[in-house]
Structure 1
């Protein structure tokens, strides 16, 4: 069964001394869950994002567990292949996301996978923080390029 999800988020990338504000559309398809009788299930989803005001797209896979109910606990991991033009430099890189929710309190780590940059983004290193305020997402992307 496939389910399409469309979400419009406001994002803000802080790129060295420059700031770009953009929106992106995220859609995904759910895949069959990995289930074992008597155990929590692991949900699987394909990710597909298009950043409207930046020259970037991403595709990836996410695994998640937990009910998603308010005040609940759970976790997810995701890998995304990002194709981007960053300050005039074109290439791809991988983002790794790791998130947990403990009784409704989230923690999240988003990092550029070391040595994953290609093309003019070879050597890219960095991390991203995602801020969620009243359902709106803002992203601070700190990075270095050789």
Structure 2
């Protein structure tokens, strides 16, 4: 039988812009969600946030490769996000490594994503991406 995290990851990876109504199968009504760019409270706000994420991408896929349950009610997922956006990176497929900390009861009540916001967005903007790349090379 798959763990809670494995089951969650499979169902989360199956989401797309047309199936966001299924978020209530994964998250509690009072869910708290945070990533490096946003913080939202409640299932309705989470649905709106995800809808805005899916609105402009041409492709979006998660590959989950780590399921670390540290207690019966919380754990970490390690993942790679693959996405394509027409105004980022010349429209090419971009990969981003990250992890999620989840706490749950019957459904997920707390979800916090950890990833490099620059690698998600800023590095792929025409002017800013060049500057960030230059800074990274100088500091390495």
- TM-score, shorter chain, exceeding 0.5: no
Q: Which has the higher contact order (CA 8 A, sep 6+)?
A: 2
Instruction: Report the structure, 1 or 2, having the larger strand content.
Output: 1
Structure number with higher helix proportion: 2
Shorter-chain-normalised TM-score: which range? 0.3 to 0.5
* TM-score, normalization by structure 1: 0.39
TM-score, length-scaled by structure 2: 0.40
